[in-house]
Structure formats: structure tokens, C-alpha cells
Amino acid sequence: MASRFQATYPGIPTAVRDIRGELASFAAREGFDDGRLDDIRIAVSEAATNAVVHAYDRWCGEIRVDAGMEHGELVIAIADDGPGMTARADSPGLGLGLPTITTVSDRLEVASTSAGCELQMTFRLAPGLP
């Protein structure tokens, strides 16, 4: 049976710490080393912060987290019910979240609609394998 982690959090800043900690603990139990755990913490923090800042900057919703091991890879999905990714002249962020996630993960997929956004990040247990 594949290992799985699923949880829902309020879309508030303090939830980012909880999401990061719980996913890092899950990844550690699956065998990820300290270096990869740091990558996972960074990516998860950026994804959850994006949900808090961009999806829920004017109202509070939920952040859904689903993570599991599949064929030696940890796949983490972080989703919100915000307005989706849109260009904003008044954006409160620096625009570095997605590039940072792309740098530290092995793969990033983004699905955005007017009903929300989901970031799916993949981390190989043994980095560098095809």
C-alpha cells in the first residue's frame, strides 16, 4: 500500500508553518535525506504562501494538501479555491515563488482556473535518476 498524507488547513499565514512541518515529517518517514527535506520545505512553503497571499488575500478559504509516494517519487499537491492565477498590478508578492519551486523540485505542474489553483510538485527519492 502506498503511503499517503492528506489534510486541509485554513488559508492563513500560520498554516504555512504547519503544512511545511507535517509534509517534511512525512517525507522524512519516506526516506528523504536532509538536503532533499530542505528542498521540500522550501517548495511547500512557497506553494502554501502563494495560496495565502494570492488566493486568500481578501478573504479566507482552505488549503488542501495531498501527498504520496509513487514509483520512488514524492508527489505533493497544494490546492486552493481562489480566483486562479491572474496578472495583478497590485500583487503583494515578489514573483519568485514558482521559479524557486521549479529550482528545488524535480517537476512542477500548475493547474489554474477561475475555481482555484493547484500546484503539483515532484521530488525523486534519489535525485538525479531519470
- Is residue 94 over pLDDT 60? no
User: What is the three-class DSSP state of 77?
Assistant: strand
Whether the CA torsion 14, 122, 30, 104 is positive or negative: it is negative
CA distance linking residue 21 with residue 90, whole number of Å: 30
**Residue ranges per structural domain of the chain:** 4-124
Nearest to 66 by CA among 111, 31, 118, 103: 118
In this structure, whether the domain defined by 4-124 belongs to CATH 3.30.565.10 is answered with: yes
- For residue 81, the model assigns a pLDDT of 86
User: What is the three-class DSSP state of 73?
Assistant: strand
Is residue 76 within 8 A of residue 23, CB to CB? The reply is yes
Determine the average pLDDT of the residues in 95-108: 86
Question: Could you read off the pLDDT of 9-27 as tens digits, one per residue?
Answer: 999 999 999 999 999 999 9
Is residue 67 within 8 A of residue 29, CB to CB? The reply is no
Is residue 57 within 8 A of residue 92, CB to CB? The reply is yes
CA distance linking residue 9 with residue 7, whole number of Å: 7
- For residue 1, the model assigns a pLDDT of 46
- Grid cell 522550501 is found at 42
Question: Could you read off the pLDDT of 52-86 as tens digits, one per residue?
Answer: 887 666 667 899 999 999 889 999 999 998 776 65
Pick left, alpha or beta for residue 72 (phi over 0 → left; psi -120 to 50 → alpha; otherwise beta): left
More confident residue, 7 or 59: 7
